Amino acid sequence: MTPSTPAPAPAPATPSAGAVRQRVLVLYLSTSALDSHVLGWSLYDGTGRTAPTTGDSEEPPYATGVAALRDGWRLIQASQLVPPYPGHEYDVSFLKHEFFFEQLVPTAGAH
Amino acid sequence: MTEKTRTEHLLNSVQMAHFVSHGAIRLDAVVPEELNDEAMRVLPAGVPPVPYGTPVVGAYPEGSFVRRLLAVPRIAGAVRSLVGPGPNIDHHAVHVRGPREGEAQPLHADAIIDVRPDAFDVQLMYYPHAVTLEMGGTLSVPGSHLRRTNESDTGRYQNLRGQDRLVCPAGTVVFLHHGLWHGGRRNDSDTPRYMFKIRFNPTVRQRLLWDTSDLTDPRVAAALDTDFPWYEQATGRLERYQRVLMWRALTGDDTFDLDHWVTRVSNRPQEATT
């Protein structure tokens, strides 16, 4: 295969009046119920105003998934309930109860 | 380091049970000050690599800094307890988190997914200077070592309840099970943070290698039954199941159990011999 010049990266979108950016919150809960308590949390900030990262906080932003809803976060994805693979019923692996939330935040350029 | 000295500093059964439940054991300020001072002169230049699987005696010349580090009695005793005599060096590395470097490592386990039920590697992590919260000490997640995940596939997890953000005095050594989720945190200070890591591969069966005089101490079962606040309600029970299997492998006692977790689901009376 011949090396080729990579395509130029698309120009960053310029915020326009009324533009919004997405903030994403991931909560890991104790059971599959959205009102069970938070075990783990991650934040990703599309506005660039903050830079959350690994190991940056000790206490979760919300006690339960429902508490995030009440604060205005919109649930956009919940992990499915998947039966264990036969023969692996006792294995432990990734956290099972993962919930993705979003906020749409006006950017600095928005009026 | 005489055999007697090494034996006197073996881990006990309660400490080994702590290792099985937590996936780590920490020895605070175990390295003498003069050796820590020497480390801060030696480590910035790096430690030359050795081929994978080199015996300790071949990896580090007699009298070298690393050889003397490994001869610190409590370090030698812990290594002996965890991986036995004559381990091989998988690899070693000097890890530096630069001042205000702006990034943390994603949460990961080293190497590749490793699900051996009856053997484990151990990683020694040595901190030659005091580590403050701002200096990006290693993040680790107690009790994560038995989760079957591959390297940084756990990178999405930023924070978990009960995580350990290492803050320690100079000369602290932490021994990690190979599967423990961990990562270097972002260094928000003006000081570089050093850590020297050595991964050991056992060359003997890892069974009853520690001081077993307290094997029946009730604190052994209590340590094995430790709960962690990041465990899901249901999966936390499976964690106990997995620890029982590991303790059985380490002791050879196939009757050991915690709250009947393994015994109950292994009961097949129709297959019992008469």
Interchain CB contact of B229 with A (< 8 Å)? yes
Residues in chain A: 111
Strand partners, B200: B89, B122
**Residue among B128, B273, B119, B148 nearest B209 (CA):** B119
- Give the pLDDT of residue A4: 45
CB atoms within 10 A of CB B211: 18
- Give the pLDDT of residue A11: 52
Residues in chain B: 274
Q: How does residue A99 score in pLDDT terms, banded at 50, 70 and 90?
A: very high
Question: Packing angle between helix B13-22 and helix B73-83, nearest 10 degrees?
Answer: 70
Burial of B1 (0-12, 13-18, 19+ CB in 10 A): middle
CA distance A75 to chain B (A): 18
Range 86-145 of B in CB contact (< 8 A) with A: 102-107, 139
- Give the pLDDT of residue A110: 46
In chain B, the percentage of residues whose pLDDT exceeds 70 is 97
Is residue B132 over pLDDT 90? yes
Its ipTM equals 0.93
Q: Per residue in A7-47, pLDDT tens?
A: 555 555 555 657 999 999 999 999 999 999 999 999 999 99
Sign for the CA dihedral angle at B170, B80, B221, B162 comes to: positive
Q: Per residue in B91-131, pLDDT tens?
A: 999 999 989 987 899 999 999 999 999 999 999 999 999 99
Q: Which of B105, B165, B233 is nearest residue A31 as measured by Cβ atoms?
A: B233
**Residue among B25, B17, B19, B81 nearest B217 (CA):** B17
Q: Topology of domain B3-201, per CATH?
A: Jelly Rolls (2.60.120)
Strand partners, B126: B173, B196
Q: Per residue in A72-98, pLDDT tens?
A: 999 999 999 999 999 999 999 999 999
Work out the angle at residue B67's Cα, subtended by the Cα atoms of residues B63 and B73, and round it to the nearest 5 degrees. 110
Quick one: average pLDDT of B195-201? 98
Q: Per residue in B51-82, pLDDT tens?
A: 999 999 999 999 999 999 999 999 999 999 99
Interchain CB contact of B187 with A (< 8 Å)? no
Interchain CB contact of B238 with A (< 8 Å)? yes
Q: How does residue A2 score in pLDDT terms, banded at 50, 70 and 90?
A: very low
- Write the CB contacts of A100 (distance below 8 Å, at least 6 apart in sequence): A24, A25, A26, A75, A76, A77, A78
**Cβ contact (<8 Å) for A93 and B149?**
yes
**Cβ contact (<8 Å) for B239 and A92?**
yes
Q: How does residue B39 score in pLDDT terms, banded at 50, 70 and 90?
A: very high
Residue of B157, B243, B246 to mutate, interface with A, max A Cβ within 10 Å = B157
Quick one: average pLDDT of B4-30? 92
Structure-model confidence comparison of residues A2 and A59, the more confident one: A59
| Chain A residues whose beta carbon lies within 8 Å of the beta carbon of residue B105 | 54
C-beta separation of B130 from B40 below 8 A = no
**Cβ contact (<8 Å) for A55 and B232?**
no
Is residue B212 over pLDDT 90? yes
C-beta separation of B80 from B12 below 8 A = no
- Give the pLDDT of residue A1: 35
What's the whole-number average pLDDT of chain B?
A: 95
In chain B, the percentage of residues whose pLDDT exceeds 90 is 92
Tokens of B179: 């599967």
- Give the pLDDT of residue A74: 98
**Domain assignments of chain B as residue spans, ordered by start:** 3-201
Quick one: average pLDDT of A39-58? 95
| Chain A residues whose beta carbon lies within 8 Å of the beta carbon of residue B235 | 92, 96
Phi, psi dihedrals of residue B73, rounded to the nearest 5°: -50, -45
Burial of B255 (0-12, 13-18, 19+ CB in 10 A): exposed
Burial of A73 (0-12, 13-18, 19+ CB in 10 A): buried
First to last CA, chain B: 53
Quick one: average pLDDT of B253-265? 98
Residue of A nearest to B187 (CA): A56
Quick one: average pLDDT of B172-196? 95
Structure-model confidence comparison of residues B207 and B137, the more confident one: B207
| Chain B residues whose beta carbon lies within 8 Å of the beta carbon of residue A83 | none
Quick one: average pLDDT of B124-153? 96
Interchain CB contact of B158 with A (< 8 Å)? yes
- Give the pLDDT of residue A5: 44
Strand segments (E) across A6-110: 20-29, 38-45, 74-78, 98-106
Residue of A nearest to B235 (CA): A92
Quick one: average pLDDT of B6-19? 91
